Structure 1
Amino acid sequence: MKLWTSGPKGSETPVVTVDGKDFDASAVTGEFGPAFFAAGGLDTLQEKAAAGELPEFTAESGARLGAPLGRPQALICIGQNYAAHAAESGSQPPERPIIFFKHPNTIAGPDDTAFIPRGSDKTDWEVELGLVIGRQASYLSSREEAAEAIAGYVIANDLSERTFQIEHSGGQWSKGKVAPGFSPLGPYFVTADEFDPHNANLRSWVNGEPRQDSNTADMIFSVEDIVLDLSQYMQLEPGDIILTGTPEGVALSGRFPYLKAGDVVEIEIEGLGRQRQEFVQA
Structure 2
Amino acid sequence: MLEILMTSDTHVPSIILNDSTTLPAIGFGTYKLNGADGVKAMVQAIESGYRLLDSAVNYENEGAPGKAIRTSAVPREQLRIASKLPGRRYSFDDALVTIEESLYRSQLDYFDLYLLHWPNPSKGQYVEAWSGLVEARKRGWVKSIGVCNFLPEHLEKVIADSGVTPAVNQIELHPYFPQHEQLAWNAGHGIATQSWSPLGRANHLLKDPAIQRIAARLGKTLAQVILRWHHQLGAIALPKASSAERQQENLDIFDFELSEQDMQSIARLASPTGRTRDQDPAFYEEF
Q: Which interval holds the TM-score relative to the shorter structure?
A: under 0.3
Which structure ranks higher in relative contact order (CA pairs < 8 Å, sequence separation ≥ 6)?
1
More helix by share: 2
